[in-house]
Chain A
Amino acid sequence: MIYLRLAWEFMQIGLFAVGGGMATLPFLQRLGERTGWFDQQLITDMIAISESTPGPIGINMATFVGYNTAGVLGGIVATLAEIIPSMIIVVLVSKSLARFSSSPYVRDAFYGLRPAVTGLIAAAVVSVFQTVVLDFDLYHVTGRLTDLISLKYLLFFALALAAIRKFKKSPVLYIALSAAVGILLKF
Chain B
Amino acid sequence: MKELLEIFLLFFKMGAVTFGGGYSMLPILRREIVARRAWLTEEQVIDFFAVGQTLPGIIASNVSVFIGYQRRKTPGAIAAALGVVTPSIIIITLIAALMQDFQNNPLVRHAFKAISICVCALILDAVISMWKRGVKDWVGVVICVAVFALAVFTQLSPVWLVIAAALAGISVRKLREGKG
Contacts and interface: CB of A to CB of B under 8 A. Distances in A.
Interface string A103-137: 01111111111111111111111111101110000
Given A112-B167, A125-B120, A56 B21 contact: yes
A129 B152 CA distance: 12
A91 interface: yes
Interface of B is mostly: helix
Contacts of A45: 99, 103, 112, 116
Interface of A: prevailing SS: helix
A148 interface: no
B35 interface: no
Contact of A83 (B57, B97, B147): B57
Nearest to A168: B125
A19 interface: yes
Chain B CB count within 10 A is highest, among A14, A19, A22, A115, for: A115
Interface string A169-187: 0111011011111110111
Nearest to B50: A101
A35 interface: no
A125 B30 CA distance: 33
A14 B59 CA distance: 11
Contacts of A36: none
Contacts of A175: 115, 118-119
Given A79-B89, A90-B52, A94-B77, 14 more contacts: A17-B57, A20-B22, A20-B59, A30-B158, A44-B119, A59-B61, A90-B65, A111-B139, A114-B133, A114-B135, A117-B162, A164-B125, A171-B122, A187-B113
Interface of A: 12, 14-22, 24-27, 30, 33, 44-45, 47-60, 63-64, 67-68, 72, 75-76, 79-80, 82-83, 85-87, 89-91, 93-94, 97, 100-101, 104-129, 131-133, 153, 156-157, 160-161, 164-165, 170-172, 174-175, 177-183, 185-187
Q: Give 6 closest A-B pairs by Cβ, nearest first.
A: A112-B169, A86-B57, A182-B114, A56-B21, A114-B134, A116-B165
